[in-house]
Structure 1
Amino acid sequence: MASETAQPVVVYRKRRNAELGLCLVASLFGIGGWLTTHLNRDGEIPSNAIVVSAVWLALCLAAHLAVRFRAPYADPVILPCVLALNGLGLAMIHRIDIGFDPPDSAAVMQLVWTGLGIVLFALILTFLRDYRILEGFPYVLFLVGMVLLLLPLVPGLASPRNVENGSQIWIQVFGYSFQPAEIAKIVLTLAFASYLTANRDLLQLAGRRVFGFQLPRLRDLVPIGVMWAAAVVVLVFQNDLGTSMLFFGLFVMMLFVATSQIRWVVIGLGAFAVAAVLISQVAPHVATRVTSWLDPFSDYDRNYQIITAQYGMAWGGLFGRGWAEGRPGLTPVASSDFISAAIAEELGLVGLIAVLLIYLLMVARGLRVALTSTVIYGKLLAAGFSFIFALQTFAIIGGVTRLLPLTGLTTPFLSQGGSSLIANWMIVALLMLISHQARRPATKAGPVEVDLSDMPTSVIDLQGGARP
């Protein structure tokens, strides 16, 4: 009698206790940075140390409890990485605030935005029980995303911050400035994933082969042409190199993940390179960014920000000046665009690399969520959201360190800014939902009777193995 063969089944553990321990450790990054700042600056721990530490610890535990009860099988590493980065950002923003006379209060507002982000994080986990309901509206989501992306060009909505920052990316609603592109990146990722899920087979197989290279059909080039045109509009009219790079790069990367064909990457990079070369001839701000990258000392007044950041990082050296021992406030807008330079000045190259490793771990776990998911839509969403974090981090830190031309993107979870922080917390919530549904045990079904009387015996063995 043949013995039954056991079918291997992968069962994931919840690992919520492991996440709790990691969250407690991650909370110490922010608390430790805040306390060390005051110890080095004032020589004593501030009187409100217990209250501030308790508030931050409560926010960290609230985020963990939302995952524990609403997405118990979610990845246990992503949330601690986010809390570590968010806490470091709060501590560094506070450190920059107290360097001014009188001290600024940007860290207080950033803490409020963090609380709102965690509330939205919990609400998404609570009420969006199945993320796949978003799959059926690709064109509606794409239209909404494009409207959000181009909203700063609408007359009457522009914010005064556009003049200060040099980019037309802010709108003002009820007296508050808001960056709609941060929400657009979520909506457009949902739209891209929906479209690519429905059309991946055509994008993979359709087209003629010319000299061994499979050319896509003209109709299949329409979506990439639309995104190329949108990137050009953002680059020319909104004066925002970072946003145009982010959205076009995101679409090309998701296209590659969906089709596994390098031709789409070649076509995308070629199209963006052609646009960048042509626009640099007619748009002076693009040429200025390139000049600032290659030779910042050619115009000291215009490139003062990047020059002071370079001196600050050089002064920090390998191990940094120490919390509150440097002068990161000398760099304009240090708490938002150049917060990575402030970290490099006070924590050194070692500290900046440690921050990059946290980003690397978070992106790697996000891509692992994509690999774990058995749903194509979930795979594409998780990969797209992971690419957003990877592209933003690479673009902004690469610009600050002069590896790349400087862009106006924010450093995820570190930089000051409510729009970016809330959008990133929403992305993490969606990643946790995808991870939870991919890792949770499958529902056990009862026995199903199958009539095999008409099936040829050469097809399959009753033991589960193929017959010769």
Structure 2
Amino acid sequence: MSIVSSVAPRSGRTTELILLLGAVGIVGLAYVNLGLATTGTLPPGLAAVGVGYLAVSLAFHVVLRWKAKYADPLILPIVTLLNGLGLVMIHRVDIARGREIADGVALRQLMWSALAVAIATAVLFALRDHRLLRRYTWIAGVAGFALLLLPLMPIIGNSEYGSRIWIRVGPLSFQPGEVAKLLLAVFFAGYLVQTRDALSVAGRKILGLTLPRARDLGPILIAWLASLSVLVFERDLGSSLLFFGLFVAMLYIATERVSWIAIGLALFVAGAYLAYLTFGHVQTRVLLWLDTFSPEALHTSDQLAKGLMGMAAGGMIGTGIGRGRPDLTYLAESDFIVPSFGEELGMIGLFAILALYALLVERGLRTSLGTRDGFGKLLAAGLSFSLALQCFVVVGGVTRVIPLTGLTMPFLSAGGSSLLANWTLVALLLRISDHARRPVPDAQQASAVGEAHTQVVRLS
């Protein structure tokens, strides 16, 4: 017999407000420290930037009080702190490269941040119940795959740094794969909720591992072929790994069968080896991974070597914000922003940032556990895992744990596409957590209590 409490849980909005003010304060101190270290004076526009960032953060907090009162109180402060620290480091690289504020990457990133928060706010207003997304399962799937293939279009498709993952319309460029991961997470969640009973049916047992039936292998084979297609035609190792890993993880969560993980790993190893034998750009990345400081690798690209040397120069406590040379590494404000933080904040500071990501993923998984519907559980878990996998791939690439993939660090790296997609991901997690933590309505409470009382009477 379950007991339904009539005591409403705390919303956590006051806790969120206190943590949010602390997060904005830390970002402000980092910005002041950067100005003092580079010019010996307070940075220009300190009041305007600080007040503006605080106003945007508080506006989103007010929206949560109004539209998602019981949303998780830790998610917004964590994301605000990460986004703000990313802005500071991007501005630091701008200073090192002699860029003016008006022409710098940091100003564009600040504008993208404001737009991303506005879109996240619109999601909270438009989506009052995450379960409505289940109606659009197949639409989300078709749209997600279409976005993945959009860079292959002959007119708008654009190739940069060897990967064809961008579309360009006039002066504007966009990476549709960032949005595709959200749509595919919705599609996977809706599809697996419908089919998980069939996919959970046990087949033969080999080497102590219960494998699924042969007829049920179709979905994972299709996902494997689709991820290989992204790797082959777009030369995008990161999106290919993220897409296939997301599907395998959500498949395991839906069925709770370890055999799907084993099959997924086997297919991934086979696909990676096939790509290594077939494509020269994959062989180049493997060379940079295994023999970074060899003459052949350095002649090809010394980006990874410079990133590693920058982190080595930072040591345990770092050189201090504004006192390193992260600008010596190519793409220090985007793909290699993690080594930039490692150099100036040291291993301790970098571990603190990674702890923030770990806590953010933990809150997402906690939301998944607390959600009362299967679709919400899978969607929250999938969104959280995609965030965790992207962080692992980025940090693993710049530290030589795995080959470089070209993905960007969520919220930290420069890039409007990534900010828009990840703030939308946060809005979805907040909406699901609001549903998970919201108390049962009074009418449902009365009904549940009445049913429990009837069961007790019958038992007695």
State the TM-score, normalizing by the size of structure 1: 0.93
1:344 corresponding residue in structure 2: 342
1:455 corresponding residue in structure 2: none
Query: 2:31, 2:43 within 8 Å by CA — same for their partners in 1?
Result: no
2:119 corresponding residue in structure 1: 120
- The residue type paired with residue 128 of structure 1 is L
**SS of residue in 2 equivalent to 1:207:** strand
Query: 2:4, 2:448 within 8 Å by CA — same for their partners in 1?
Result: no
Summarize the Cα distance change of 1:465–1:339 in structure 2 as closer, same or farther, 3 Å threshold: farther
Residue deviations 1:379-411, cap 9 Å, x none?
A: 001000100110000100111111111111110
Query: Which of 311, 314, 328 is residue 312 of structure 2 equivalent to?
Result: 314
**SS of residue in 2 equivalent to 1:300:** helix
1:281 corresponding residue in structure 2: 277
Query: 1:204, 1:261 within 8 Å by CA — same for their partners in 2?
Result: yes
Q: Equivalents in 1 of 2:399, 2:458: separation in Å?
A: 57
List runs of 5+ in structure 2 lacking aligned partners.
Answer: none
Query: Which of 210, 213, 219 is residue 214 of structure 1 equivalent to?
Result: 210
Q: Equivalents in 1 of 2:447, 2:66: separation in Å?
A: 33
1:79 corresponding residue in structure 2: 76
Query: 1:322, 1:347 within 8 Å by CA — same for their partners in 2?
Result: yes
- The residue type paired with residue 232 of structure 1 is L
Mean Cα displacement is larger for which, 71-80 or 442-451? 442-451
1:136 corresponding residue in structure 2: 135
Residue deviations 1:45-81, cap 9 Å, x none?
A: 1342111111111111112111111100000001111
Query: 2:34, 2:92 within 8 Å by CA — same for their partners in 1?
Result: yes
- The residue type paired with residue 39 of structure 1 is L
**SS of residue in 1 equivalent to 2:200:** helix
1:456 corresponding residue in structure 2: none
Q: Equivalents in 2 of 1:53, 1:130: separation in Å?
A: 34
1:12 corresponding residue in structure 2: 9
State the TM-score, normalizing by the size of structure 2: 0.94
2:396 corresponding residue in structure 1: 398
Summarize the Cα distance change of 1:18–1:449 in structure 2 as closer, same or farther, 3 Å threshold: closer
Shift of 1:303: 2.5
Query: Which of 370, 373, 376 is residue 371 of structure 2 equivalent to?
Result: 373
Q: Equivalents in 2 of 1:144, 1:352: separation in Å?
A: 36
Mean Cα displacement is larger for which, 224-233 or 245-254? 224-233
Q: Equivalents in 2 of 1:48, 1:271: separation in Å?
A: 53
Shift of 1:43: 1.1
Query: Which of 189, 195, 199 is residue 191 of structure 2 equivalent to?
Result: 195
- The residue type paired with residue 125 of structure 2 is T
Residue deviations 1:411-449, cap 9 Å, x none?
A: 000000000000000000000000001111111227669
Shift of 1:464: 6.8
Query: 1:297, 1:303 within 8 Å by CA — same for their partners in 2?
Result: no
2:67 corresponding residue in structure 1: 70
1:327 corresponding residue in structure 2: 325
Q: Give me the CA root mean square deviation.
A: 2.1
Percent pairwise identity: 47
Shift of 1:461: 8.0
Q: Equivalents in 2 of 1:213, 1:463: separation in Å?
A: 43
Query: 2:201, 2:213 within 8 Å by CA — same for their partners in 1?
Result: no
Mean Cα displacement is larger for which, 82-91 or 46-55? 46-55
Summarize the Cα distance change of 1:47–1:191 in structure 2 as closer, same or farther, 3 Å threshold: closer
Query: 1:11, 1:439 within 8 Å by CA — same for their partners in 2?
Result: no
For 1:206-285, list aligned pairs within 5 A. Answer: 207-209=203-205, 213-285=209-281
Q: Equivalents in 2 of 1:451, 1:72: separation in Å?
A: 28
Residue deviations 1:140-181, cap 9 Å, x none?
A: 22111111111111211222xx23x21110011233110000
- The residue type paired with residue 135 of structure 1 is R
- The residue type paired with residue 349 of structure 1 is M
Question: Size of the alignment, in residue pairs?
Answer: 453
Query: 2:4, 2:449 within 8 Å by CA — same for their partners in 1?
Result: no
Mean Cα displacement is larger for which, 143-152 or 363-372? 143-152
List runs of 5+ in structure 1 lacking aligned partners.
Answer: 453-459
- The residue type paired with residue 155 of structure 1 is P
Shift of 1:29: 2.7
Question: Greater Rg, structure 1 or structure 2?
Answer: 1
Query: Which of 282, 287, 291 is residue 291 of structure 1 equivalent to?
Result: 287
Query: 2:91, 2:106 within 8 Å by CA — same for their partners in 1?
Result: yes
Q: Equivalents in 2 of 1:280, 1:42: separation in Å?
A: 48
1:110 corresponding residue in structure 2: 109
Shift of 1:42: 1.1
1:382 aligns with 2:380: yes
Q: Equivalents in 1 of 2:202, 2:70: separation in Å?
A: 39
